[in-house]
Chains A and B, each alone.
Chain A
Amino acid sequence: MTLLCVEHLDVRHGLLRAVRDLAFSVEPGEILALVGANGAGKTTLLRALAGAHLPHAGRIVLAGQDISRMHAHRRVAQGIALVPEGRRLFADMTVAENLKLARAAGRAGAWDAAAVLEVFPNLAARLSARAGTLSGGEQQAVAIGRALLTNPSVLLLDEVSLGLSPAAVDRVHGALAALAASGTTMILVEQDLSRALRIASRVICMLEGRIVLEGATATLDRAAVTGAYFGLQAEPVAE
């Protein structure tokens, strides 16, 4: 059964159509990478899926339930969690408090603090530190751990490697690979095309709010993805 189905989604910022008539679906356990140049509509799409930005038109169906008009906090209860761009931790709260917030408001499930610390063991020694004092990599670990603690059925990750050192990016992507291996369904926005192709099972390339290329990473030609990324491909495929 399809886990997430997006139909004719249209998301606007005022008069600007940031996402245009988009349609795709995600199967359980699938890792979908959204790639595209800046302004392609990737972050807007993720925020629309998470309920932080309600769509202008179209449907978002999660496990058979239409969640299009639900606000973000209700979508968390339905099983959607977003790791937002820039981490957006509560800087004055401790790491433990950031994690407890998600645990208290999220769904019941397999993810608890111990499970998160298994994926991000370096956080164990930093639980009483204020989140704002952590390094970028540690903050990203808290942001992902926090989202996991809501026990999502779909984990949305927006630019998790943005602003991190190469070593920190390696650690974060190592953790994502472990999550992928455990069967967690993920949709990730990633500027680093190589890393996105390495971790994802399927890729959607967006340009000006539309899908211009879609396919399994195993079958897609790297040059075709790069071409679509920079808008060199002629026709959108999802209209």
Chain B
Amino acid sequence: MMILLNDLLQGVLLGGYYALIACGLSFMYGVLRIINLAHGSLAILAAFALFVLADRYGVSPFFGLLIVLPAMAGLGWALHRLVLERSQRGGFLMPVLSTFGLAIVIDNLLFEGFGADTRSLAPYIGSLSYDSWNLTDDIFVGQLALLTFVVAILLLGGLHLMLTCTPLGRAIRAVAADPDTAGLLGIDATRVGALATAIALITVGIAGAFLAMRATFDPYAGAPELIFAFEAAVIGGAGSLWGTLAGGLVLGIAQNVGAQLNPQGFLIGGHVVFLIVLLARLAGGRLRLPSLTVRQA
């Protein structure tokens, strides 16, 4: 019984990590209707930036975030102005293809620069990467896992508050709902979209930091992270912030339960739950795939 409880707890904590990594993906889909296939690669890019700061300049990954997150915000702004906004004019598929291409470019540039070696930020955060609190003989809580979970809650809560209580949040929601009408109220939809992408990439940067602290990464590690983020976002309801948390928890628990059933069941458990939820949503008409329409500039 205690072992099962511990598995459940570890699943919940792992779910916090998945919610964190899915947060930016869900936010971008929710407010810009863009499926960002470069999401995982951008997280890995942030991880490498933190690694360089830690390895070459001795900057702690937590302090490194003070440099990397503004850089990610700037990258998000440029990404929207140079790629996403233009590609959105070509219909729903164009941003998907553009970000897919971007992911390939980022992955290969990282490979060119850093080689195929795996790296981790764990050596730069002291004992945080492995310390835990033992609640009983069979139940323990990893400090980094708990920190990740708390950061996920704070990040999702912060985004929720920003969207509901600030002028920028209202403008983002207005542009997401009807960019033409938002323009008629004086809102610059292009500027708001760039700001939303900058915010999304800040969350991607945070996710990349925790990814690199809890595990190893290499230049091509973005794709698996994208799959986990995608699964968490879809299970929770694409575009819903708190749904993303729920999706992350379900995915984390499913993977842990799967691992208990079979040593190979960790990934399969998550994929099976994802497919069941996806098929149920499609059958119930609750998940509608966007139509291939061309948006006005």
B residues less than 8 Å from A92 (CB atoms): 173, 177
Which chain A residues in 98-137 approach chain B with CB under 8 Å? 100-102, 104-106
A76 proximal to B (CB < 8 A): yes
Residue from B171, B174, B186 in contact with A76 in the complex, judged by beta carbons closer than 8 Å:
B186
A residues less than 8 Å from B181 (CB atoms): 84, 88, 90
User: How far is B185's CA from A3's CA once the two chains are assembled, in angstroms?
Assistant: 20
Proximity string of chain B (125-169) to chain A, C-beta cutoff 8 Å, 1 when within and 0 when not: 000000000000000000000000000000000000000000100
Q: Are A93 and B174 in touch, CB under 8 angstroms?
A: yes
User: How far is B177's CA from A237's CA once the two chains are assembled, in angstroms?
Assistant: 41
Q: Are A93 and B173 in touch, CB under 8 angstroms?
A: yes
B residues less than 8 Å from A100 (CB atoms): 167, 170
**A51, A97, A101 interface centre (most CB from chain B within 10 Å):** A101
Proximity string of chain B (172-201) to chain A, C-beta cutoff 8 Å, 1 when within and 0 when not: 011001101111111111000000000000
Q: Are B170 and A93 in touch, CB under 8 angstroms?
A: yes
B residues less than 8 Å from A93 (CB atoms): 170, 173-174, 177
Q: Are B167 and A50 in touch, CB under 8 angstroms?
A: no
B-side interface size class: 10 to 19
A77 proximal to B (CB < 8 A): yes
Q: Are A50 and B171 in touch, CB under 8 angstroms?
A: no
- The residue in chain A whose Cβ has the minimal distance to the Cβ of B164 is A97
A71 proximal to B (CB < 8 A): yes
B96 to chain A, nearest CB (A): 25
Q: Are B173 and A73 in touch, CB under 8 angstroms?
A: no
A residues less than 8 Å from B186 (CB atoms): 73, 76-77, 102, 105-106, 150
Q: Are B170 and A76 in touch, CB under 8 angstroms?
A: no
Which chain B residues in 61-88 approach chain A with CB under 8 Å? none
A residues less than 8 Å from B170 (CB atoms): 93, 97, 100-101, 104
- The residue in chain B whose Cβ has the minimal distance to the Cβ of A146 is B185
Q: Are B173 and A51 in touch, CB under 8 angstroms?
A: no
B residues less than 8 Å from A52 (CB atoms): 180, 183-184
A197 proximal to B (CB < 8 A): no
Which chain A residues in 31-62 approach chain B with CB under 8 Å? 50-52
User: How far is B179's CA from A101's CA once the two chains are assembled, in angstroms?
Assistant: 13
- The residue in chain B whose Cβ has the minimal distance to the Cβ of A91 is B177
B residues less than 8 Å from A71 (CB atoms): 183
Proximity string of chain A (65-84) to chain B, C-beta cutoff 8 Å, 1 when within and 0 when not: 00000011110110001101
A-B contact pairs, 23 of them (CB 8 A): A50-B184, A51-B183, A52-B183, A52-B184, A72-B183, A72-B184, A73-B182, A73-B184, A73-B185, A73-B186, A76-B185, A88-B180, A88-B184, A90-B173, A90-B177, A90-B178, A90-B181, A92-B173, A100-B167, A101-B174, A104-B170, A105-B171, A105-B187
**A73, A74, A102, A104 interface centre (most CB from chain B within 10 Å):** A73
Residue from B174, B183, B188, B189 in contact with A90 in the complex, judged by beta carbons closer than 8 Å:
B174
Residue from A73, A97, A104, A106 in contact with B183 in the complex, judged by beta carbons closer than 8 Å:
A73
A residues less than 8 Å from B187 (CB atoms): 73, 101, 105
A residues less than 8 Å from B185 (CB atoms): 73, 76, 101-102, 105-106, 146, 150
Residue from B167, B178, B188 in contact with A73 in the complex, judged by beta carbons closer than 8 Å:
B188
- The residue in chain A whose Cβ has the minimal distance to the Cβ of B188 is A73
Q: Are B177 and A76 in touch, CB under 8 angstroms?
A: no
Q: A90-B174, A93-B174 are in contact. Are A76 and B167 (CB under 8 A)?
A: no
B residues less than 8 Å from A97 (CB atoms): 170
**B167, B171, B173, B183 interface centre (most CB from chain A within 10 Å):** B183
Q: Are A88 and B173 in touch, CB under 8 angstroms?
A: no
